[in-house]
Structure formats: C-alpha cells, structure tokens
Amino acid sequence: MIIGLTGNIASGKSTVGVYLQSLGAKVIDADRIAREIVLPNTPALKEIVFSFGSGVLNEDGTLNRDKLASIIFNDTQARKKLESITHPRIEEEINRQIKIFSKADPSSVLVLEVPLLIEVGWHKKVDQVWLVTVDERVQIERLMQRDNLSLGQAKSRIASQMPQQEKIKFADVIIDNSSSPERVKEKLKDLWSSLITHHE
C-alpha cells in the first residue's frame, strides 16, 4: 500500500513523515531526492546554472537554495523552468524506489512524502492521500521563524502554492497540525493503528 503524504509549506509534513517512519512506515522523501539530484557536477545542477546563471551557486560549487528560491518565488516562468529540470528526475528516482519497495516488501506500507503531490499529478500513484493542514496564522509564524522571512515574504511564498482548501478535495485523510505535537502524534498513532489493522 502506498500513502501520498503532502501539505503546503511550513505545514509540518516532514515532522509527520518522521513520526510515521518511527511507527514502521517506509518513507520516500521527495525533498531529500530533490537535494540529491542537484549535488555538484550532476546534470540537473549544470542545467540550473545554464538557465539561472552561476549566481545561484555557493563558493564551493553547491547550489545556493535560498538564492534560487528568491528567484523562483517571484517569477512564475522561472519556477516552471526549474520544475521542468527537476521534476522528471525526481519522478524517475521515486518510481525506481517504488519498484524496489514493491518487490522487496509488497505487504507493508510505503509513504511517499511529496510537497507538490497533487499539483504534479503524482497523487495518482498512491492508494490514499494524507494531507497535513495548518492554520494560516500558525503557518506564517512557522515560516517566518524557520526561513528568517519577513511577513510579506512568508505570505508571498504561501500564496504561490495551491490553496490548502483546494488540496482538501483530494485528501482521504486530513491531519490538522495546528495544535500541540503530542496531540498530532496521538492522532497519527490512531490513524496508523487503524490503517495496519485494515491493511492486514
């Protein structure tokens, strides 16, 4: 069984993914794959530099993710260009890992953690969509604190994504992550227990 775990920026989906892993899920993290495909000397990084210039690199040749983010969050065409470089490579690696999982452990649960699961149509790869939601006020506070952004910058990044209310239409399970971590963990524990019981 494959669960697609998603949620908007600063919703806390990565924390949810880590906790599901501790409960026994196998997790494929698209963000981690996205970082790996742009390591120095990779084809993707070379293409990014060709498209956006050497100014997106740090002195050591690694990708300056903050610099690149500042470009794409203010330019729809630039964001689409970046996605055209990275998404096919990310999807290829995800498909490879799904294939390995399906052969090695077909009876267990795989969690596919993808921020843009719904936007890019990858929700069609999964059996259930689990959406992590968060109150907008909490989301803004978390984002400002996490990425050291101004209020305007935080709101701009949130506005660049598909609205949370739209994503809810695709969700089989909604996990409200606005409250305390303890309460969220209890909900996840119940969800996981129920899932495993029915899956078996």
For 43-78, what is each residue's pLDDT tens digit?
999 999 999 999 999 999 999 998 998 899 878 899
Amino acid symbol at 28: I
CA pair distance 110, 146, nearest whole angstrom: 28
Contact 2, 110 (CB under 8 A): yes
pTM (two decimals)? 0.92
Distance from the Cα of residue 95 to its chain's centroid: 16
Cα separation, 114 vs 31, in Å, equals 7
Tell me the sheet residues that pair with 86. Answer: none
CA proximity to 136, closest of 158, 114, 166 = 158
d(CA 3, CA 173): 10
What is the rounded CA–CA span in Å between residue 86 and residue 36?
Answer: 11
Q: What is the pLDDT of residues 93-131, one digit of tens each?
A: 999 999 999 898 878 899 999 999 999 999 999 999 999
The Cα–Cα gap between 109 and 27 comes to 9
Assign 200 a pLDDT band (cuts: 50, 70, 90).
low
User: Is residue 16 classed exposed, middle or buried when 0-12, 13-18 and 19+ CB atoms within 10 A define those classes?
Assistant: buried
The residues spanned by each domain of the chain are: 1-25+108-200, 36-107
Distance, in Å, from the CA atom of 187 to the CA atom of 176, rounded to the nearest integer, reads 9
Domain 1-25+108-200 sits in CATH at 3.40.50.300
